[in-house]
Structure 1
């Protein structure tokens, strides 16, 4: 199929016309990629089972991996769920719109292939003007996983989407680079105490400042159970070449680099700026000075290493404070050791 690409300009008339066309495609049962504040999403009408099936086909995504439904307002969110605990409403007042997904009891309005047959549904309200306008114009909940081929690094620019899905989807709204760079935090709101199912743009500490104790689901490390949330079960975010995650000082990374170069491998490195300045390899990408910059730059960097340029990526392990927990969650899923 031909994929239509709208480059959103400052021209307000063009901007509105493009999003109107994209919203029309969604209401007609087609798939459209669009920017959010986290990564680009691939959207389809969440109430239309055949439309949602096109997401799985385009991405090559496993059918038992649930999708997140995106809505524009809390009122629209409430139309999809059976029960909203008081602590979830507190979190919504503080963090929505924003990079926080709520897992709640589904009332069945969304198609079964959105929830992967579960009794719960993940819903979020994105904080991006293009996403907000698209959702308002479509006037349906929009199921939207990341707009990439399944298993590859998530897309933080429209070009990433184009590289993966051109010819597989109906449309792409190009709104420039995204902000947070990592997917939303997913939190289970079906229990007395909220449980983080996937770390992301909102940290455990931020959540606890609003509602008190928050648990981390043991399923984050369990690959056998049926996933309640996207990103819990399968290998994700993988670059084209193997990635090794190495803990320790720059000297430790350098020793691994030197050993693998002696084995005839060309080595690429992902590291913080401070670490990158202390090591030598065939290609080095600095992810930034602090963990927020590292999070924002991670997926772009993972996509830069191509087969034929390097044989192995050595990546620095980062402290798991704040959003560092989400960074390390993604790197562990991308790594081979």
Structure 2
């Protein structure tokens, strides 16, 4: 997938737009015409198109080089819009929406026929999100429709958290990019589905943590899906984007090392080379003897910085990356989940 840029066949004159009222209206007009536009959200930048227009949605898949069975998340501009697109809102879904919307939470629910199968990845369900980012919400409002918007990167590469990241991946592939500044959260939204008994199933961790969800619906009413920390087979149907394929990956091979900084340093010493780089915590940097890049100390900072750091590894010419294993609770689970996929599940317990 990393060579997709070299084989691009699309040739748009990609406009760089600001978040001024005039430019937001330009973006909305392009979306009404069935075009694809890169837009900011609080999580990562999204590649937006009219969610109800199959032809427009197909352009997202083409721009990203994304597998057609990978469902897209539909972004709405008002809470009440959910009832236009889904047939049922379970009690726990209503509780979570009241607690976390607008915000970085996506809920997978039975879809109405108005949502094309192209958008839902061939599923009878659809992921719905109500973003908090004011520019995203205004673009949705002015476009007059819900927007399908996966992350605005080439499929498989690290997600974009700045407009320039989007430009680097999508210049010539889409009509425009709206610059709304750096993304505050830095990892994609939390995705949940609901079992027949109403229990919440975490499909993709994000800023809204499993612990946060349990705090709203009760300890016994929320569980983590196996795909969060385990590999899913290629033939298996998934309800959420980011569960099946290798994602978020730089060109370098990434390996997660789980252990103390002393164990980590010893392992890197035995496997070091000119093209080797370590991804360590900020607090590890003082005296670390090998080439490194830091990605924060707290889970929240790691979430904000992770994708930018993964992208910068390509600029550094790294071929092998050893990453310190983050926490696996709270927002840390989201960081670990993204790193797992960037590493193709290559983990070494020291």
TM-score with structure 1 setting the length: 0.94
Native 8 Å contact 1:250 1:278 kept in 2: no
How many residue pairs align between the two structures? 328
Taking a change above 3 Å as real, the CA distance of residues 222 and 241 of structure 1, as seen in their structure-2 partners, is closer
Contact 2:18 2:179 in 1 (8 A): yes
CA offsets 1:86-119 (integer angstroms, 9 cap, x no match): 1111111110000000000001111111111111
**Who is 1:271 aligned against?**
280
Residue of structure 1 in register with 2:343 after alignment: 335
Deviation of 1:160 (Å)? 0.3
Query: Structure 1 residue 222: deviation in Å?
Result: 4.4
Q: Distance in 2 between matches of 1:278 and 1:125?
A: 44
Residue 279 of structure 1: how far off its partner (Å): 2.1
Q: 2:210 aligns with which of 204, 214, 220?
A: 204
- Mean alpha-carbon deviation: is it higher for 218-227 or for 207-216? 218-227
The unaligned stretches of length 5 or more in structure 1 are 9-14
Distance, in Å, in 1 between the alignment partners of 2:315 and 2:297 is: 27
1:120 matched to which residue of 2?
125
Which of 242, 254, 258 is equivalent to 2:253?
242
SS for the counterpart of 1:126 is coil
Counterpart check, 1:195 vs 2:205: no
1:306 alignment partner in structure 2 = 314
Structure 2 unmatched runs, 5+: 1-11
CA distance in 2, matches of 1:177, 1:298: 13
CA-to-partner distance for each residue in 1:191-235, whole Å, 9 max, x for gaps? 320111111110011111111121111233242221110001000
- Deviations, residues 281-313 of structure 1 (Å, cap 9, x unaligned): 12x222122111111110010000126632211
Deviations 1:214-257 (A, max 9, x none): 11112332422211100010000001211110011112221222
Tell me if structure 1 keeps the 8 A contact 2:277–2:290. Answer: yes
**Where in structure 2 are the equivalents of 1:1-337 lying within 5 Å?**
1-8=12-19, 15-191=20-196, 192-212=198-218, 213-220=221-228, 221-224=230-233, 225-261=236-272, 264-282=273-291, 284-306=292-314, 309-336=317-344, 337=346
Asked if 2 retains the 8 angstrom alpha-carbon contact of 1:243 and 1:335, the reply is: yes
Give per-residue Cα distances to partners, 1:249-287, cap 9 Å, x unaligned: 1122212221222xx4422121111223352212x2221
Asked whether the 8 Å contact 2:251–2:319 carries over to 1, the reply is: no
Deviates more, 1:208-217 or 1:233-242: 208-217
Asked if 1 retains the 8 angstrom alpha-carbon contact of 2:18 and 2:24, the reply is: no
Q: Secondary structure at the match of 2:97?
A: helix
Match of 2:6 in 1: none
Q: Does the C-alpha gap of structure 1 residues 309 and 222 become closer, same or farther in structure 2, counting only changes over 3 Å?
A: closer
In 1, distance between residues paired with 2:289 and 2:61? 41
Cα displacement (A) at 1:335: 0.6
- Aligned partners of 1:152, 1:286: CA distance in 2, in Å? 19
Q: Is the 8 A contact 1:241 1:307 kept in 2?
A: no
State the TM-score, normalized to the length of structure 2: 0.91
Which 4+ residue blocks in structure 1 deviate beyond 6 angstroms? none
The DSSP-based 3-state class of the residue aligned with 2:85 is: coil
